[in-house]
Amino acid sequence: MNDHLIYMDYPATTPCDERVFDKMAPYFCELYGNPHSWHSMGWASMHAVEVANKQIADYLCVDPSDVIFTSGATESNVLALRGMIPPKSPKESHLITTAIEHPSILEGCRQLHPQVITTILPVSNEGIVDLDELSRSITDDTYLVSVIAVNNETGVIQPLEQIGAICKERGVHFHTDATQALGKIPIELEKWNVSLASFSAHKVYGPKGVGAIYVRKGTPLRPLQVGGGQQRGIRGGTIPVPLCVGSGEACRILADEGASEFARISELSERLVTGLMLSIPYAQVNGGTSSKVPHIVNMGFPYVEGESIMMGLGSDVCVSTGSACSSDRLTPSHVLQAMHVNEYFLQSSIRFGIGRFTTVADIDHVICRVAAEVQRLRDMSPLWEMFNNGVDMNKIKWERRSSLRRDRPAA
């Protein structure tokens, strides 16, 4: 790998913090007992799991028994959607979500049809859910409202307290995919009136393959994965001790260092946006005036293709055009489409992720590289030439001129 490679795809995944890795290491080859075994090795492993569980719960300000380990946020999301379906006539079940959810939610809802009728709420041009539409959409058959806390493509923060208040007033359970919220905004599950919340460790410098779901006491969640009754019977199977230990340590580090990290990333984010806006004519921040986390910056550079920018930067800068869970598709971002982003920005948008190991030098290098790459592509773009010649671009239909699959370098 290039020694000077700059990683700016933190929303897709984060590197495992060395402190997290060191904490996990003994539980692979030394303290390897099954945490459900009744002997000293098993008890030692279970104690490690309990410590990790408490570290996560303390960070979330909840009871440790309300935190259930899963394989990641996708499993947690699907568990929330399916496990909350009431045991009654299937056609009477109704679910509400939004048009900007993670693919695991939207695809999960699609697969529930026709057992469950799903209402997909629109969002504003800034990416915020319509609260009046939410209130109107709740019926006597609504069993769950699921709204992402922080969008994984734009960083826009939803009005979670207001959503929770509506759900409480109407007697409906509220689930939030808080994957991108962890470590980026204060997690206030009680204040938000959340019944269920999904998390993933690899978004906060922990290991891949492990996550959690918060299940408030009294929430009628039925298990999808049965086994020996582990974890309150909600999620059967042997608990992966090293991964749980890593998750707990990642949350401990967030608790100790999160505030200072947020301040530093905020400064880097402002530097990135300012630099790109000054260097690239007509650049735009998608969801610009919304309340957002600084860790995710989504910008459009019209009259070139976002995928072409990304591939041009690929030798020394890692960025993306959207969710890693749908990056193999050549269709435009469903999130930006839901926000009614203009076609020329929709097709040219790049997501930048700023994280724990991003430096000022990284930001400055990325600004220069992106500005140069956009200019190089615009110099070859007939759309840019038409725009500069005063053509009314609203009358010109965008046509894809390249294939990401074709242009992708060989492995």
Phi, psi of 89 (to 5 degrees): -55, 120
Q: Are 134 and 162 in contact (CB under 8 A)?
A: no
Beta-ladder partners of 235: 225
Give catalytic status of residue 16 as yes or no: no
CB neighbour class for 297 (10 Å; exposed up to 12, middle 13-18, buried from 19): buried
Beta-ladder partners of 392: none
Strands 67-70, 211-215: pairing is antiparallel
Which value, to the nearest 10 degrees, does the dihedral of the CA atoms of residues 320, 326, 328, 334 take? Answer: -80
Q: Are 346 and 352 in contact (CB under 8 A)?
A: no
CB neighbour class for 341 (10 Å; exposed up to 12, middle 13-18, buried from 19): buried
The pair of structure tokens assigned to 3 is 């020694």
Cβ burial 235-259 (10 Å sphere, 16+ → b, else e): beeebbbbbbbbbbbbbbbbeeebe
**Active-site residue identified among 109, 244, 251, 325:** 325
DSSP-assigned states of every residue in 182-242: TTTS---TTTTT-SEEEEEGGGTTS-TT-EEEEE-TT--PPPSB-SS-TGGGTB-S---HH
The pair of structure tokens assigned to 105 is 């939610």
What gap in Å lies between CA 309 and CA 312, rounded to an integer? Answer: 5
Catalytic residues: 325
